[in-house]
Amino acid sequence: MLLTPLLLTPSLLAARQPTLMLHTLKSEIAATAAALVVEEGLEYGPAKRRALKQLALPARTALPDNDQMEQAVREYIDLFCAETQPAELAALRQLALVWMQRMADFRPHLAGAVWNGTATRLSDIYVQLFCDDPKSAEIALIEHNVDYEPRTVTGFTGGSVEALSISSLCQPLNENVGVHLLVYDHDDLRGALRPDAKGRAPRGNLAAVQKLLSTPSGD
């Protein structure tokens, strides 16, 4: 029995058009925001909001999710930064490793763009610490005379966590880089190791970061 091919009648096209338009609009927002992430070092949230303004779109326009943003950033890097980004990423990962080794007592895990491979010289470094005592990491910085700025941010669990922000010289890039140590409870580590929707590790420990640096492609 032969199946009759589905014909896109005017009524079917009309029904699908809003979805197609929304997908196209989100792609345009993601592409505009990706340029801001790479060229200005913005985080995804601020970059999406700035993209809305640049595109003269209403504030309530549906935004691309972070997976779409990451893909757009990768595409932008492949197009415009393919020659410079790998060396910048390696330099940031090396600096991240230095701080992870310094904070090794607090189960450090690298997250964000430096971990997933989309970082450039303007990206900050995010290291998540999983502490038995929430004040122990801060005390360690004080004991080693490290200047830092404490603040409160939203963590991956959705709750508030303390971030200890440091400005650290990255010698290969010859500029200071923001290093943010996010303090979590030890119990949060179990949930932190679950793979994301694509089956990838959302963060990596010392051994994982060392492996990235020893792999020529950095993957």
**With 70 as the cut, is the pLDDT of residue 10 above it?**
no
What gap in Å lies between CA 131 and CA 129, rounded to an integer? Answer: 6
pLDDT in tens, 75-115: 999 999 999 999 999 999 999 999 999 999 999 999 999 99
What gap in Å lies between CA 164 and CA 142, rounded to an integer? Answer: 11
pLDDT in tens, 160-211: 999 999 999 999 999 999 999 999 999 999 888 889 888 899 999 999 999 9
**With 80 as the cut, is the pLDDT of residue 217 above it?**
no
In contact, 168 and 99? CB cutoff 8 Å: yes
**With 80 as the cut, is the pLDDT of residue 20 above it?**
no
* Burial class of residue 129 (count of CB atoms within 10 Å of its CB; 0-12, 13-18, 19+): buried
Work out the average pLDDT over 21-26: 79
Residue 41 phi/psi, 5-degree rounding, is: 75, 20
pTM score above 0.85: yes
Q: How confident is the model at residue 3 (pLDDT cuts 50, 70, 90)?
A: very low
Q: Please provide the average confidence, as pLDDT, over all residues in the chain.
A: 90
Handedness of CA 71, 75, 80, 84 (dihedral sign): positive
Eight-state DSSP code of residue 106: G
